[in-house]
Structures are given as structure tokens and as C-alpha cells.
Homo-oligomer: A and B are copies of this chain.
Amino acid sequence: VLSDNVEEILNDDRISIIVEATNDTKSAYQYIKRALTLNKSVVTANKALVSAHFEELSMLAERHHVSFLYEASVGGGIPILKALKDEVILNDISSITGILNGTCNYILSNMFNNNTTYNQALNQAQELGFAEFDPHDDVSGKDTQRKLRILATLGLSTSIKEKDIILHGIEQISTLDIQHIQQLQSTCKLIGEVVKHSDHYYAVVMPCIVCNSSYFSTVNMAYNAVCIRGSHIENLTFYGAGAGASPTADAMMKDVLDVAKGGTLTKSPLKNNPLLNRNETWKDFFYLRINSNNPKLVALIKVLADQVLQQEKQLIILSKKIEYNKVRAILSKYDIKSEEYFIARIK
């Protein structure tokens, strides 16, 4: 039975599960809201939509005793959300860390393994269908931010929105950065991470320098990986196809089967005591390249760094463990624009 009329589907009492696979966030939101209100379960892969309306749609499903499932929206074919929901019941989750965007991982793998430039790697990703014509949402880290927002809210039982997550993408990475990172026996991955400490958390999407013997360095091309740490489970890591028609369809069908089997009624992910966002005090080791040789900037930055290299008109810094906010303050004081620097965490 085929229909191109959504009303026909919504008003058919025999239909109890709706799979939303449109590419339109706005109307999909309206369809899903109505479907849940009409006591129909909904399965979607639309991460922009889930990110934008996660709490509202979850609570709506809870009120109507139906399921709202979105496994395919995070980690492609990896059954990470189902596993995370199970672990949240039994564990105190202390962190979630992941390579969540296949496009960025494809570009970075290609640059590091085949010595291509950023533009060559991006073009190739577009030709092979790993990147869209407008790759902005992927390379800016926005897509990773949406997925981390969903994982973090589920894992920490606190509403953690896109705005609560520090965001840096991979667009500014240069061949010079690659050379320096390779000299550190390391590679670079775009990583989303949320870390919980007693009553607060921090959340970041940022390129990360990971050493060549580490687990994340083995995650290549369009693959994704997610690591959950919990009080009982210790470290639990999932690796799999981050995108693609078959893995996405597989993830959606797993949701459909779960609804059909019953027993997976959606509950609001939020609990009573929300955690505080403490991004403003977040500290780490940073790699920073700035296209500037302003002597005052150099003097200031030397205080924060173990190593400062000046190469042509560029400044390359491996920082001590410092507050991210200090880095931001310096960049802003010297009016360094986003296209004039590249920043990465050193893991």
C-alpha cells in the first residue's frame, strides 16, 4: 500500500508504528508530534529534528504510552542508544566520548594516510558520497554537536543542548598541522565528549590529537566509535558504520522490531537534579596554530605553552594544561578570526 498523503497515514487506526524518513525537519516535527498524540509509535533517523525537540517529543511519547525511537540518528548502524539506555538504569555514567561524524573522519583519515590537502580530501569525500554538496554541518562539527547533545542528555539524565557544547570543527586544519601532529606519532580525529563530575559536567566537540597506538586512531574512513564509561560497566566501546543506507535502515528496523516486541515505551530522559554546565572552567592540553606573528601575542602565549614554534608567519603552540577560556580570551583580545587559527585537544 503506497500513499503520498500523510493524513491518510495519521488517520488510519490500523497503523501503530510510523517510520519517519523524510529530509525535512520542520514538517517532520509536525508529523511526529501528531503521530505521538494519536498514540502511534514513531521511529526516525532525523538527528537535527531529534536534537531540536528531544525532551518535548520524549515526554509526549511517555504521556501517550508509546515509543519514540531514533537509534539511527547517532552512530549510524551502531546500537549505541539502546545500549546507553540500558546502562543508564544500572550505572552512574561518568563520560561519553565518540567519533560521531563519518564525513570528518573520512577527510581526516585521507589527509593523514594519503597526504592529501583538506580540499582534495573533501572533494573525494563528495565524489564518493561521504560528504554532501554543502558539507558545512559536518565539517563545522555541528552534526557531531547534535549527536553529542542526544547522547549526553540520555547518559547524564540532564537536558544538554547544542548551545551547552563547546564547538570547533575541522575546516581550518592545514598540511602544516598534519606534519606537526605526525611528528608527535599521532593522528587527528574530531571527537565529541561529555564528562561528568559529581554535580556538574563539561561538553566539547573539538579536533583531538590521539597517539598512533590508541584505540581512536584505529577508527578510520567513514566509521564511527563511541565509548561509554560507567560505575559498573567500566569502559564499553562500540565501533561500526557511521552512515550509509544499509546500516541506517538496519538501525531503524531494530527500532521497529523493539516497538513490535513491546516493552520499550519511551520515558523522559530527564531526572530530578539537573547537572550544572561548567564549560567555563574546563581545562586541557591544546595544540594551537595561529596565523600571526604579533610579538605581543607571542609573549602572552609563551606563558601558557611548553613549546612555541614560529614557522613562517605562523605560531604553533603545545600548551600546558590550561583553561579553554584563557585561550578564547587571547584569541579574542588579538581579534584572531576563525579562519586564522586551528585548535585541537591533545588526548
Contact flag A215-B213 (CB < 8 Å), given A89-B257, A234-B77, A257-B89: no
Instruction: Pick from B87, B253, B263: contact of A264, CB below 8 A.
Output: B263
Task: Tell me which residues across on chain B come within 8 A of A264, comparing CB atoms.
Answer: 261, 263
Of residues 43 through 90 on chain A, the ones whose CB sits less than 8 Å from some CB of chain B are: 77-79, 83, 86-87, 89-90
Check: A337 CB closer than 8 A to any chain B CB.
no
Verify A239–B239 contact, CB threshold 8 A.
yes
**Assembled-state Cα–Cα distance A86/B230 (Å):** 24
Measured between beta carbons, the chain B residues less than 8 angstroms from A254 are 86, 90
**A90 vs B78: C-alpha distance in the bound complex, in angstroms?**
14
Would you call A240 and B239 a contact (CB within 8 A)?
no
Could you tell me the dominant secondary structure of chain A's interface residues?
mixed
Tell me how many chains of this kind the complex includes.
Answer: 2
Q: In the complex, what distance in Å separates the CA atom of A236 from the CA atom of B226?
A: 12
Contact assessment for B215 and A239 in the assembled complex, using a CB-CB cutoff below 8 Å: yes
Contacts of A261 in B (CB 8 A): 263-264
> How many A residues face the partner with a CB closer than 8 A?
39
Look across to chain B and name the residue whose beta carbon is closest to the beta carbon of A89.
B257
Q: Shortest Cβ distance from A74 into chain B, in angstroms? A: 14
Binding site for B on A (CB under 8 A): 77-79, 83, 86-87, 89-91, 212-215, 218, 223, 230-241, 244, 246-247, 249-250, 253-254, 257, 261-264
List 12 other contacts, CB 8 Å, given A86-B257, A233-B246.
Answer: A78-B236, A86-B254, A223-B235, A231-B246, A232-B246, A232-B250, A233-B240, A233-B241, A234-B241, A235-B241, A236-B238, A261-B264
Return 15 A-B CB contacts under 8 Å, by A number.
A77-B232, A77-B233, A79-B236, A90-B253, A212-B213, A230-B250, A233-B241, A234-B240, A237-B239, A238-B238, A238-B239, A239-B239, A261-B264, A262-B262, A262-B263
